[in-house]
Each structure stands twice: as C-alpha cells, then as structure tokens.
Structure 1
Amino acid sequence: MGVKTIVVRARPGNRSQGLLNVAGTIFPCALGPGGITARKREGDGGTPLGRLRIVSGYFRNDHFVTARQTRVPMQPIAATLGWCEVPDDRNYNRPVRIPYCASHETMHRLDNLYDACLVLDWNLKPRLRGRGSAIFFHLARPGFTPTQGCVAVAAATMRRLLPRLSTSTVVKVVR
C-alpha cells in the first residue's frame, strides 16, 4: 500500500532532529540546524514548514540499487550532477552539469548522503530568489546530525519507505 502523507515534527528539546510519522510508525530523522521555519531563506539552515510533494529522485547506482523499487521517477547520479544554489543564477534550484560556473551542491557525494535522494517541491515552480534551494529527503549522517534544511533518515528507513512512495506522497512538515 502506498504512503500518501509523511508527517515530520521537531523532536522535543532538539530542533535539528525530528520524528517522521508514516501511518503511525515513527522514525527518527535529521532536520536543519535552524529547525522548522515558516520563513525559509537560502542558507538559513531551516527546514521549511509546509506540504512538500515528492517530485523525483536520484540514487547512486553503485551504492543504493534498491532505490529503483519505487513509484518515484529516479535517475542514477552521475559524477557530473550538481544542484545550483545561487539565487541570481538562471539555474537556481535546478540540477546542473558540473563543473558549473556558479556555486552548486555536488550530488555524487563521498559521504553517501545522497545515495538515495528525493527532490521535494520546495521553491521549484515558481522559483523565488533566495527562498531556499535543494530541499531533499535523503539519507542521514550517523547520529542524525543536522542537514542544511533537508529531511534525512537512516538508510534502513529509506529502504523500507521507498517501495511505498510515489509522486503523490506529501511530506508534511509541521510544528
């Protein structure tokens, strides 16, 4: 059965960690160091408050092959895949081919955070300069240390959820 809604809340007493609720099952997750914010800005470290639909995803074919087992359109991450994070650039908050002239995030990471990475529809259409880019649902670091504003879960949690997710799944970030 597919998952329609994933509810994310900050963990009491720790705004950079959260609790992810999927049909009554709770999973730990990491959030941005700024916690959940209604006024998301580029570089603020906040996780945006709101309903974020899963749009698409990326995966490391050499590390997370089970990412293909989902109803989300997934693309393998090439070493040349980046994500532009410069508000004044014409490709702001979009994938780019690297090397790229403006500041960008490298998707082919050594720390494995993006071995399975789902793109959430934050600031995609329309893109507003400075409202924040690259809000992903991806893999967490050990100890669920803060993200840059994304929602991150353990690899085992991602493996469990991916087969149940689709582009109609909404990640609802609440206070």
Structure 2
Amino acid sequence: MSPADLVLTPQGVRFRGRVFPCSIGKTGVTTAKREGDKATPAGVHRVTGLWYRPDRISRPAAWARPIGPADLWCDAPGHPHYNHHARAPLAASHERLRRADPLYDLILTTDWNWPDAVPGRGSAIFLHQWRRPCHGTEGCIAFARADLIWIAERASPGTRLIVPARAQGGEVTAQP
C-alpha cells in the first residue's frame, strides 16, 4: 500500500497522510456483491472518473467532468449500459447524477464491475457526499463535503481504493 491509495480502515479512509470519517454500505462490506444488497464491495478498486455539479461547486481537478441534466448511471442488470454512464432519455432503471439533494454534487466513480459489467453484480459504487454521519449508503463510500473535495483535488484516474473484507455495519468510523 502507498500513501496515494485510498484505504478503508476502522477509523475511516486513509489517504495522503490523513484519515477521513466515512460511511459505507448499510449492510457492511461483502466479498459477494449483488445489485441492491446495500453492501460495499471488498477488493482493490480504481478511481475511473470524477464528476461535479458546476452550478454548485468549482471544478475540483482538471480531469473532472461536469454533471448535466441528462447524465445518468444505468443500474438495470439486463441493459447494455448496465453500470455505465448513460444519457436521458433512458427507459431502463437508472440513477440521475444531477440530483436535487447534494449527495452527487461531486462523485468519484470506481471500476467495480466496470467496464465489462456482469449483470446483477452491482453498479454505481461511487465515492460521494454523505447524507449525514453514521448514515449507511446503498454500497458507496460517503464523506463530509469538505473531505470529499479535498480527496477529489488530490486523486487521479487509477488511484487505488482498497476495501478490506472485514468492516461491518453502515459506519466504520467514529463521529468527526
């Protein structure tokens, strides 16, 4: 492991000499990820993208892509765009990347089940803003907004995200 890796620990995510409180999937970490299981997949993943809402925050890094009204993420296991960015209109099940709440104002996407997605193995494993501390996610890793911005400013395509197969429950860290 390197200081440039994002590493999930019992205290939070360690990155570049700091530890950031975070929330993980409501059902903990799994080695058998399935669509809708509310678990964070264990393993070594890589950051593949950085998306941001230009109407809400400044561009965090030169490689960041703006989120527009038509940007979606397909979560329909039988669809050809499963676990990939898509654009509206899309009749298949999907998540809107441009949300009314601030959770996806800044997203780092990962290579979990990507680019060659296996149907039903899970989609949209992102690093994003948390709803509130101690609130588990649907499988993503979530942070306080300021911490997520700090991470996004320093991460790059290919940054490793290491998730050991031992965390349980929706929160792996003490309150900030």
- Shorter-chain TM-score range: 0.7 to 0.9
What residue is the counterpart of 1:31 in the other structure? Answer: 24
1:9-28 Cα shifts (integer Å, max 9, x gaps): 3x4xxxxxx61112442211
What residue is the counterpart of 1:149 in the other structure? Answer: 139
Written as runs of structure 1 = structure 2, the 5 A alignment for 1:86-101 is 86-101=76-91
- Select the structure that is richer in helix: 1
SS of the residue 1:133 aligns to:
coil
SS of the residue 2:32 aligns to:
coil
SS of the residue 1:142 aligns to:
coil
In structure 1, give the amino acid aligned to 2:7: V
In structure 2, give the amino acid aligned to 1:126: D
**Given that residues 3 and 165 in structure 1 are in contact (C-alpha distance below 8 angstroms), is that contact kept between their aligned partners in structure 2?**
no
**Given that residues 4 and 168 in structure 1 are in contact (C-alpha distance below 8 angstroms), is that contact kept between their aligned partners in structure 2?**
no
Q: Quick one: distance in 2 between partners of 1:147 and 1:21?
A: 19
TM-score by length of 1: 0.87
Written as runs of structure 1 = structure 2, the 5 A alignment for 1:65-144 is 65=58, 68-70=59-61, 73-144=63-134
| Aligned alpha-carbon RMSD (Å) | 1.7
What residue is the counterpart of 1:56 in the other structure? Answer: 49
1:90-117 Cα shifts (integer Å, max 9, x gaps): 1111111123111100110111111110
| Structure 1 residue runs of 4 or more that deviate by more than 4 Å after TM superposition | none
SS of the residue 1:114 aligns to:
coil
**Given that residues 81 and 108 in structure 1 are in contact (C-alpha distance below 8 angstroms), is that contact kept between their aligned partners in structure 2?**
yes
SS of the residue 2:46 aligns to:
strand
Corresponding position: 1:44 with 2:44: no
**Given that residues 84 and 104 in structure 1 are in contact (C-alpha distance below 8 angstroms), is that contact kept between their aligned partners in structure 2?**
yes
1:51-77 Cα shifts (integer Å, max 9, x gaps): 111011210001121xx2326x32111
TM-score by length of 2: 0.87
Q: Quick one: distance in 1 between partners of 2:113 and 2:83?
A: 8
What percent identity do the matched residue pairs reach?
38
SS of the residue 1:29 aligns to:
coil
Corresponding position: 1:161 with 2:151: yes
Deviation at 1:134, TM superposition (A): 0.5
Kindly tell me the number of residue pairs found equivalent between the two proteins.
164
Q: Quick one: distance in 1 between partners of 2:158 and 2:111?
A: 11
Deviation at 1:144, TM superposition (A): 3.7
Deviation at 1:3, TM superposition (A): 5.7
Which stretches in structure 2 are left out of the alignment for 5+ residues? 167-176
Deviation at 1:168, TM superposition (A): 2.9
What residue is the counterpart of 2:170 in the other structure? Answer: none
Q: Quick one: distance in 2 between partners of 1:24 and 1:97?
A: 37
